[in-house]
Amino acid sequence: MDFGFSEEDEEFRAEARSWLAANAGPVTDRRTWERTLGAAGWIGLGWPEAGYGNRTATLTQQVVWAEEYARSGAPPRSGHIGENLLAPTLVAHGDAEQKRRFLPPVAAGEELWCQGYSEPGAGSDLAGVRTAAVREGAHYRISGQKTWTSLAHEADWCFVLARTDPQAHRHRGLSFLLVPMDQPGRIEVRPIRQLTGTSDFNEVFFDGACARVEHVVGGEGQGWRVAMSLLGFERGVSTLAQQIGFAAELAGIVETAVDSGAVGDPVLRARLVRQWAELRAMRWNALRTLGGRGDPGAPSVAKLLWANWHQRLGELAVQTRGAGAATGPVDWSASAPYEIDADQHLFLFSRADTVYGGSDQIQRTIIAERVLGLPGEPKGAV
């Protein structure tokens, strides 16, 4: 695919860069930042049509925006799950009422979403979910537990894959439900403390006696089809923006290696060069597959590449600093929390890269079965 920039694309780049320079200063409230983006129409660029408070952009312009956003140092997004996962799913499978109800608040940055897929005992095996939803008239009562739910502590809504037919097995009998999170006493969110000391992931508990749901996307029992469609949206222009962040992290590590003299070690120097070369290869692979259709292995290959690359980068970050990487940025005391610096955070957080979003084992299974046509892995009935 040719990503040569036209004059119109460069005008778009200039507008994006100017707006980000004027607005992407220090932000302490991420929800306010989402509203700022929404008010300017920068949420929903990749949606197939405007009319929800968003502007639309070509695929090339979406790449431009994502890269300029990353270069500007703008705050991390809280609304990306609603914008990049839920919205395309509603466009593809939702009815007119669901689109009118949910797309405008996403475009305005008013409603934040989280994803209720993984469960204890099921992990990345979505067909093994046990969260259940029982119909009561026009509503459902939902019970069960989701885990590793990103940003659930901030979200207004959660899209949940749940079993609506208890007699069906595996991927049959699942439904894709839209669940309001503001149900005190009915839905409980428990943050999961990570190695970094932060809690971006959560456990979510649904009380079947009370927790209520009324929105089903794609029809009852069609949850597997909708869920698989959504997973296809997880690759795209955000991959290229992610790589700009990776490049900035690598540049910082190289600078540390030069300043400390660690770059004099030929083994370390070779690892740094390899990281740079692999990052360039990932960029060209992302450009090659961007916007592609009908390639079931592309998202899995991309996930395997960047997750393992980033994990090795975290190891390099601490190796470059030697013994000094074991000490924190401030003196520790029993009365103060232990703090870590950016390199330590990179090392610790990247340990999860090969697990979340589908573990390496899951990605390799997808490639084996759907691309190479190898025999499927035996799976028991739920």
354 against 197, higher pLDDT: 354
203 is catalytic: no
The pLDDT value recorded for residue 381 is 46
Query: Which pLDDT band, with edges at 50, 70 and 90, does 231 fall under?
Result: low
Q: What is the pLDDT of residues 251-275, one digit of tens each?
A: 999 999 999 999 999 999 999 999 9
For residue 305, what pLDDT band results from cuts at 50, 70 and 90? very high
Q: Which two tokens stand for residue 257?
A: 């290696």
Q: How confident is residue 320, by pLDDT bands cut at 50, 70 and 90? A: very high
Please give the Cα distance from 280 to 73 (Å, whole number). Answer: 21
CA distance 354 to 195: 15
Q: What is the pLDDT of residue 124?
A: 63
Position 301 pLDDT exceeds 50:
yes
The model's pTM is: 0.84
Q: At residue 1, does pLDDT exceed 80?
A: no
Q: Indicate whether 41 pLDDT > 50.
A: yes
Q: Specify the 3-state DSSP secondary structure of 174.
A: strand
- Out of 67, 234, 278, 315, which one is annotated catalytic? 234
Q: What pLDDT was estimated at residue 333? A: 65
CA atoms in the 13 A half-sphere facing the CB of 18: 7
**Continuous H helices in 291-373:** 298-321, 342-349, 360-366
DSSP string, 88-103: HHHHHH--HHHHHHHH
44 backbone dihedrals φ, ψ, rounded to 5°: 90, 25
For 120-156, the pLDDT digits (tens) are: 877 666 777 889 999 888 788 899 999 889 889 999 9
Maximum mean pLDDT: which of 67-76, 104-113, 121-130:
104-113
Nearest-CA neighbor of 147 among 378, 364, 355? Answer: 355
Mean local confidence (pLDDT), 291-309 = 81
